[in-house]
Amino acid sequence: MLKISKITTFIKSYDYRLWVLFFGWLVSAMGFAMVIPYLSIYFHNQMKISMSLVGTLFGVAAISRALLGLIGGDLSDRVGRVKMMGMAQLFRGFIFLFMSVLAYKGGSFYLWSLLVILNWMFGGFYQPVANAMAADIVSKEKRVEAYSILRIGGNTGWAIGPMIGGFLASASYPLLFIIGGILTFLSSALIFIFLTESIKPDPSKEKFTFKDLGKLKDDHNFLLYCTVSLLLFVVIGQLVSTISVFSVDYVGITEAQLGFLYTLNGAIVIFFQLPASKFTQSKILTRVLLFGSLGYSIGYFLFGFSESFAWLFFCMLIISVAEITVLPASMAIAANLSREKHHGLYMGGYGLSYALGWSFGPLIGGVLIDLFSTTPFILWGIIALLGLGAAFGFRWLEKKLPADVISISEKRSGEIINQ
């Protein structure tokens, strides 16, 4: 009974809207993770598209998503968060259904590319806005933990989605896309039915102009932070396209085994994200990002020596530990740097950096696979070097960013100032 009471107290310590975002993100991530890793394999193996071209597609899609995320974040400051998120998920659901038709009847790579880009663009109207709502409803002291909660929701979807997707992809690609669409519709329904606004929309400011985005250019600390973070996000961006194709085509594991690799990644976040956030939220957050970047470098470098599923499993374990360390801390710093009443714009700007990393990541990974498929330690060694660059960048930022942005502890803030 005592344990149940603690859980109840913990749940009630947050605004109920955080838990709606949690479940909406879980369902959305399940549908997305069920499809995306196998989409690269579908293009490469069944449509015979080169990995460089596949990487380019995901790169263009991620850039489109980044730009729309920046615009969507700013618009959500004006018209409200719920409308933006709900409509984005609704349109993404329809796109998944169109993909199922293409997989059944056949279609050109150009048409597939259009649907992928549109799907990612509407994703840009969802995630930055969800992060902005979390910043609206959660105090600064609890943001690392709050973003950890949202990540648990997303990674629960990532744990379940690829495992189911692996079996669906083996049986029927059209069915894979249909189920992905249904889950995305469910996410939209949760948002529209259960979420209430976290800001007061101002109809007089609904008109958007690109000049509004210029508010970010004068915030030099925020721009420096996003620039250094971009290096880390390029490394993180290898998680889907590069790892999936490398593991199946070059190491030789099955698609079902690939699903279990992503399930491991999601499971580690589910079970260890909250303990990790409780440990890291009282630390200097730039140092958390430094050590997490080093963890990514080690994990990806070891991928270059993979010859079995067991070794891939070990490498994914290292990467997953790095992931639970860096991502909530990274989002918390972005939220702490953002200005009141402009959380949407700032989280959109942060989302631009994140999405550009996921843009260049698969592109760089795809080119490296095509160039160094016979020497994988070079492929993954280059990626590991990018992680080292991010680690040095975060150490440098510790001296640049305000102490109250990178630490919630007064004692820690004093330590930083005195260094």
Q: Which domains does the chain have, with CATH numbers?
A: 17-196+216-418 (1.20.1250.20)
Name which of 111-125, 141-155, 158-172, 274-288 the model is least confident about: 158-172
Of the segments 152-166, 278-292, 405-419, which one has the largest average pLDDT value?
Answer: 278-292
pLDDT at 229 over 90: yes
Task: Calculate the CA dihedral of residues 44, 48, 53, 58 and round it to 10 degrees.
Answer: -40
* Residue 115, pLDDT score: 92
> What is the arithmetic mean of pLDDT over 233-255?
86
Residue 219, pLDDT score: 79
Mean of all residue pLDDT scores within the chain: 83
**Local confidence band at 10 (pLDDT 50, 70, 90 cut-offs):** confident
Secondary structure of 267-325 as H, E, C letters? HHHHHHHHHHHHHHCCCCHHHHHHHHHHHHHHHHHHHCCCCCHHHHHHHHHHHHHHHHH
Distances (CA, A) of 137 to 12, 76, 340: 13, 15, 12
More confident residue, 124 or 119: 119
Residue 411 has pLDDT above 50, yes or no: no
Q: What is the pLDDT of residue 211?
A: 59
How far apart, in Å, are the Cα atoms of 284 and each of 223, 224, 336, 402?
20, 17, 13, 11
Q: Say what percent of the chain tops pLDDT 90.
A: 25
The pLDDT of residue 416 is 37
What local confidence, expressed as pLDDT, does residue 208 receive?
A: 54
Give the pLDDT of residue 155: 75
- Distance between CA 414 and CA 113 in Å, rounded? 51
Per residue in 346-368, pLDDT tens?
887 887 788 778 778 878 888 88
User: Which pLDDT band holds residue 237 (cuts at 50, 70, 90)?
Assistant: confident
The mean-pLDDT minimum among 79-83, 215-219, 244-248, 300-304 falls in 215-219
Q: What is the pLDDT of residue 313?
A: 92
**228 to each of 117, 224, 328, 352, 386, how far by Cα in Å?**
26, 6, 16, 13, 11
Predicted confidence (pLDDT) at residue 100 exceeds the cutoff of 70 = yes
Residue 249 has pLDDT above 80, yes or no: yes
375-388: pLDDT as tens digits? 888 999 999 999 99
pLDDT at 413 over 50: no
How much of the chain, in percent, has pLDDT values that exceed 70?
Answer: 92
- Residue range 27-83, pLDDT digits in tens: 988 888 788 778 877 888 888 888 778 878 877 887 787 778 777 777 887 788 898
Residue 414 binned pLDDT confidence (cut-offs 50, 70, 90): very low
Q: CA–CA separation, 127 vs 124, rounded Å?
A: 6
Is residue 327 classed exposed, middle or buried when 0-12, 13-18 and 19+ CB atoms within 10 A define those classes? buried
Q: According to the model, what pLDDT value does residue 152 have?
A: 86
Whether residue 231 is predicted with pLDDT greater than 50 in this model: the reply is yes
Average pLDDT over residues 149-160: 82
Alpha-carbon Rg for the chain in angstroms: 20
What's the pLDDT tens digit per position in 185-201? 999 999 999 999 988 76
Which pLDDT score, from 0 to 100, does residue 214 have? 62
Q: What is the CB neighbour count within 10 angstroms for residue 279?
A: 12
What's the rounded Cα separation, in Å, for the pair 340 and 335? 10
The residue written with tokens 């005592």 in the block is 2
Encoded tokens for 162: 């690829």
pLDDT of residue 46: 80
